Amino acid sequence: MGISADLHVIGRPMLDAQLAHPTVRGIAAGDLPEPVFRSWLEQDYLFLLDYVRVFSRLAWQAPDGHLGDLVDLAHATWHEELDLHRSLAAGFGADLDGAVKGPACAAYTSFLLEAAAGYGEGLAALYPCMWGYSTLGRLLAADPPAEPRYRAWVDTYADPGFAALAARIGEMIDEAAPDPARARELFVRGMEHELAFWDVP
């Protein structure tokens, strides 16, 4: 079993905890209170700005065979995920430009930017976000919310193109071959940050 497959096994119970979280359940049902999603949207916007920086830092270190993938990931984050947030902002009254990082966002982005100092380790650290959101999107799309704004969120992460990007990160982890114990440690820490992020300020 490759490193990424091992991470999937470790991560599934932690993903189930996200599925049970009230914020995720509210998105799935389409009845999450607007102030909660507005706060989450602002925090995730700030997170994604740094996520692009993480991809860029890793791209600088990447072997030639991975460079294009990381550029594609940075591009998709900037043009697709951030565009989703911008498109949803007005409907929820979110102030993306005036938002300030809360503790969960600051802790998570600091962790990722620090982990990205090492190539294989950085990939393992960011994998919880890619794999987790792709899996959440797929599972929630089986019974999507009727509320169109929350449906747009689910559709973005259930998209096969996003799933392909997440799968490619798993392949890149296997190809980079970081120390398995260290990869597991960073992946678990990333999954812990993912769960904490749903506790929006």
Domains of the chain, by residue range, sit at: 3-27+34-198
Burial of 117 (0-12, 13-18, 19+ CB in 10 A): exposed
CA–CA distance, 116 with 55 (Å, rounded to integer): 8
Rg (CA), the chain: 16
- Give the pTM: 0.94
pLDDT tens-digit profile, the chain (201 residues): 689 999 999 999 999 999 999 999 999 999 999 999 999 999 999 999 999 999 999 999 999 999 999 999 999 899 988 998 998 898 899 999 999 999 999 999 999 999 999 999 999 999 999 999 999 999 999 999 999 999 999 999 999 999 999 999 999 999 999 999 999 999 999 999 999 999 987
- What fold characterizes domain 3-27+34-198? Heme Oxygenase; Chain A (1.20.910)
List pLDDT tens digits, range 100-125. 999 999 999 999 999 999 999 999 99
